[in-house]
Structure 1
Amino acid sequence: MNKTDMKVFEKHESEVRSYCRSFPTVFNEAKGSKMWDEDGNEYLDFFSGAGALNYGHNDPKMKEALIDYITNDGITHSLDKATTAKGQFIEQFNEVILKPRGFDYKIMFPGPTGTNTVESALKLARKVTGRTDVISFTNGFHGMTIGSLSVTGNAAKRRGAGVPLNHSVTMPYDRFMDSADTLDYLERFLENGGSGVDLPAAMIVETVQGEGGINVASKEWLQRLESICKRWDILLIIDDVQAGVGRTGSFFSFEEAGITPDIVCMSKSLSGYGVPFAITLLRPDLDIWAPGEHNGTFRGNNHAFITATAALDYWKDDKLEKSVKHKAEITHEYLQKIVENYSELKGEVRGRGLMVGIACGEKELAEKVAEKAFELGLIMETAGPDDEVFKLFPAITIEEADLKKGLEIIEESVKSVVKEPVLS
């Protein structure tokens, strides 16, 4: 096999590319929690497609279902026409996920990506309430299109819009302010007629902020946020694009808090196979769309319906959920020992389930750890407003031996980096 020259990407691909700069090799094979490059080098994947591969690469059951479907000339593209594949997904999602959890949602197919579902949620909230503004939270990330960017906190990403981002108000996330209760702060703006904050259509929030630095909202904070929304007749939108589908332990990341959002945004690992797929879940009484009022050419990705339906087999009992919680305990304990044993990190363990990381108190340390880890055969990224967190996203189905091997590589990377002088 002829090897791919990295200069092909440098010469012909846009400068906007990013991950290939962090992981400078050409990958050509992946299975489970491992990837291989064209030179045959093996890497443990603690990145999981930025959360799009919670079940790992090329899950055999999903692959078999997809190959059978393609071989039998199953429909690939259907817009929102009724198909067998879509009908099976809808039925199984209701039976396996929604009904056992006591949720009654209509399912909307807005387009294939995370930002598509967020845009549809914002649009619907404004249509239902007749209000314009949306409250979002510090360090939140909701996508890269204009509406989603307007409720995203990261300054660098917001600058990329090229236009003013309007009709949103940012409020402090849980524990963002050391000296104040952030929801007391939010309520004062809603109660005070001189605050300059109009009553919003919705509030949009991640229960665990991925890109924002693995910040975790407590269940008490989420419960109170829900009660504030109910009191003021504000729609609560949970963005579960990255934190959902088992990443924090339960299928929905908000289950632990016992809340029932008005609208839920899902994508990334929903297809189970890395195939583009998103849904927006909404209370039935909110479903006031006129036919075709919101649409998208690729909202009928039948290949994703097939793999997503196969992925639901993991949730027909509680084995996976228990497994994730067990692996999460191993991971959190190991990371805590790293923080204690390498004080030079000035580290703080963050996260929930297998959505975890260490926030480093010294500038550039997280990036150096991630870079060293890649040299040692582990793929992981950084997060946070200053990339101060190295972020672990192993597949939730990862073998325990591979999980421990990856954690050992991270410790070796930390050990190597903290021995070197830290540049300010």
Structure 2
Amino acid sequence: MSDRPSPLADPHIAFDTTEGRRDIVVLGSTGSIGTQAIDLVLRHPDRFRVTALAASGSRIDLLAEQAHRLGVAQVAVAREEAVEELRTALKARWESSRASGAGNGGPLPEILAGPDAATQLAASPCHTVLNGITGSIGLAPTLAALEAGRTLALANKESLIVGGPLVKALAQPGQIIPVDSEHAALFQALAAGTRADVRKLVVTASGGPFRGRTRADLERVTREDALAHPTWAMGPVITVNSATLVNKGLEVIEAHLLYDIPFDRIEVVVHPQSYVHSMVEFTDGSTLAQATPPDMRGPIAIGIGWPERIPDAAPAFDWSTASTWEFFPLDDEAFPSVNLARHVGELGGTAPAVFNAANEECVEAFLAGRLPFNGIMDTVTAVVTEHGRPSGGTSLTVPDVLEAETWARARARELAAKATAEARA
């Protein structure tokens, strides 16, 4: 590992240290990351202003309320059929405010719609783009934000994972600030030394709802079991990914891409309390851990505020109260997802895109009751194995990614349907 600056996240580099209030575009505004980011912005209006919002269009009332409270200039929805409902909801809120004398006096926001709407907003004038979209559909907005020269607060890990070489080719040193709690923790701990001082990255995992169970135990778990995460409140896809530990496998790939640390020097340990979000072990034997109570507003504040810290962004520990912090090795037999992620990460090219797309399809099948829990990773493994040698390599293109994802989704659906039919026979 060289001591050159990483082309991506580097805590020693502030990509843009412009003083004053920052204009922010929030992608995925009605999701968990987006709603918490907006809470931070509303509590710190002297530091931040949201200029545009993007969402899928499944929660129109919430999106309209966000747009009204923030007074944004633009709102984007991925679902074109949601435009009229959104326009009606926006108009109702603006008219109600004006009638009560509490209106902001501004015009209704411009509405953008369609699968490219979020990408358009990602390139719009602003300081920071917070990409809180879930899934690989976040790749195009990530690339657009980087190409436009925006600081990218990245919560959409999938865009980096499926398009690693593409993202790295566009990102300037310090341009990407990670928002995942684990990578925000690594980002902060790495500030204590140079890259040449780093021996190992240690990524922590809560273990999800099934920590301590064997593979045989997992054959009987239900959708409700998988969605009952003991620590974090997240959307259904990310929650299932945490139950299979696919989320942790994706984070290993992300850590490798963000910090240029080889896979054999990135370790995963289980930490049920989720207080320590990750650690960096240095060559002198010391380890630095970043710790806060489980709350995503802290990592979000790092993402949109760096290099400054936002006062009271998230709760702090009460050190007058006794607590126990535990760490356990990962059970690779019950949770093979992390090792499979290492494998596809080392393969590179389109392999991570195949892994991610197949998993998204399998999680959807599991949530719909068409695939058992263990069938998720069994099917993903089969798709990755069948895919074989990846295409693209370091010369990966967007068409390469899209083609690989399309194939992986179709093949995952076929294998999941076959497994269901065999189980019912």
Taking structure 2 as the reference length, the TM-score comes to: 0.34
Q: Which one scores higher on RCO, CA 8 angstroms, separation ≥ 6?
A: 1
When you count helix as a share of all residues, which structure comes out higher? 2
Taking structure 1 as the reference length, the TM-score comes to: 0.34
